[in-house]
Amino acid sequence: MKLWNLSFGFFGVQIAYALQSANISRIFATLGADPHSLSYFWILPPLMGILVQPLVGAASDRTWNRLGRRLPYLLLGAAIAVIVMCLLPNAGSFGLSVAGAMIFGFVALMFLDTSINMAMQPFKMLVGDQVNERQKGLAYSIQSFLCNAGSLVGYLAPITLTAIGISNIAPTGQVPDAVTYSFYIGAAVLILCVIYSFATIREMPPKEYAEYHGITEEQKEEKSSMIHLLRHAPKTFWTVGLVQFFCWAAFLYMWTYTPGAIADTVWGTTNTETEAYQTAGNWVGVLFAIQAVGSVLWAVVIPRFKNHKTVYALSLLLGAIGFVSTLFITDKYVLFISFLLIGCAWAAMLALPFTILTNSISGKNMGTYLGLFNGTICIPQICAAALGGVILPLLGGRQVNMLVLAGILLVVGAFCVSLVKETYGDSTANAEA
């Protein structure tokens, strides 16, 4: 139950993240963005992540007050996220010009992703702080399960609200009520999850934390900059980071181009003003929910493999098959198979990198290292987003071809897993060790 409580708040945070990832391209396309420019809107979320998460990690390593070490940052991030979730889907409803609505949405997206990153990072740190090496695989699998359960709610919210009569169409330049109300509901659930987290999580006081991780008084006095820590990071940090590069670039293209891809291949339209396009947008939520189901099921399987590298590579190859298959499928239900396979890769990405990394580092700079490690998530997304508008025309302008490219990237990532060597950090050692 304690392992469950350490990660339960991730459920609410992930609902917010799922609503963002499934609907951002749809929102900006509805506001009037050119499909070839959609990837550029996705530069901002990982850019904010790479700035915020290392700072949150480093600051929380040095924080202790009556609210705890990591929890104050969860509270602040969640509070900002709730406010922005109520504003972002209304970007086209304030009487602004198209350009004004785009700018408002862009700024709101910046604050939303900043706050989600601030709220998400504490849960990763709490597992590293309080769970021993033997249980970390299980702890991160639980986190993966809750993450995907939250994703399931976020992805299905728009189509569920449409099914009960909430409008899925809106005037030109405005976001449908089904999407807007989904963000409102997500904000409410996030508040409840944060309250639960504060009621059930007990963080170790500094003295107890130092004893648990074997941190000496001399080590506590040492001050290490982020650059210094990067220079002395274990090799695992960099090899797992290489795998992460190809994985997260692949999923950035999934989030960016799936709405346009299936609108084209299944509904036969690329016109964002048609009801067919909005219907396809709702179906993207269903497909992402199927991906989450596949991830939940695969997360149960992952701990049964004794070799982390074997299941890591296998998972990525299954995801690659899922991505490539979307090129040949024109039936919306057959796409379920594709996204179940993609879910296998997602489950591995959520659990295995953090299991391998936290086992290889000591507790003294756990938060800082996890914050820095977030760069292996953000940098590939920034690169992929910056190149997306260039690559799409080279692939014929069809957005489904970007999903095929995502599959190729996962294959490369699977081969890079062979470079990873698992190590176990000495809890009595400092960062240099």
Residues 347, 244, 367, 431, Cα dihedral to 10° = 130
Instruction: Kindly state the DSSP code that residue 171 receives in the 8-state scheme.
Output: S
pLDDT at 190 over 60: yes
**Among 399, 432, 45, which Cα is nearest to 248's?**
45
Please report the pLDDT score of residue 99 as a whole number. Answer: 81
The partner residues of 65 in beta bridges, in order of sequence, read 68
d(CA 404, CA 327): 7
pLDDT the model gives residue 258: 93
What is the DSSP secondary-structure string of 46-102?
Answer: HHHHHHHHHHHHHHHHT--BTTBSSHHHHHHHHHHHHHHHHHGGGTTSSS--HHHHH
Among the residue ranges 188-192, 278-282, 330-334, 400-404, the one predicted with the least confidence is 278-282
* pLDDT tens-digit readout, 196-213: 988 888 888 888 877 876
CB-based contacts of 175-179 (< 8 A; 24+ apart in sequence): 175/27, 175/30, 175/31, 175/89, 175/90, 175/91, 175/92, 175/93, 176/30, 176/278, 178/282, 179/23, 179/26, 179/27, 179/89
DSSP state of 184: H
pLDDT at position 314 is: 96
Q: Kindly give the interhelix angle for 335-360 and 133-163, rounded to the nearest 10 degrees.
A: 150
Name which residue leads in pLDDT, 329 or 214: 329
pLDDT at 401 over 70: yes
φ, ψ of residue 293 in degrees (nearest 5): -65, -45
What is the average per-residue pLDDT within 135-152? 81
Pairwise CA distance, residues 351 & 175, whole Å: 34
What distance separates the 2 farthest-apart alpha carbons in the chain?
66
* pLDDT tens, residue by residue, 335-385: 999 999 999 999 899 878 877 887 777 656 666 777 788 788 889 999 998
Letter for the amino acid at 114?
Answer: T
Percent of the chain with pLDDT over 70: 93
User: For residues 122 and 125, what is the distance between their CA atoms, to the nearest angstrom?
Assistant: 5
**Residue 1 CA neighbour count, 13 Å, CB half:** 2
Residues 89, 93, 94, 98, CA torsion sign:
positive
Question: What is the pTM (predicted TM-score) of this model?
Answer: 0.73
Residue-averaged pLDDT of the chain: 84
Domain boundaries, the chain: 2-204+226-419
In 3D space, the residue among 158, 180, 394, 403 whose CA is nearest the CA of residue 283 turns out to be: 158
The CATH homologous superfamily of the domain defined by 2-204+226-419: MFS general substrate transporter like domains (1.20.1250.20)
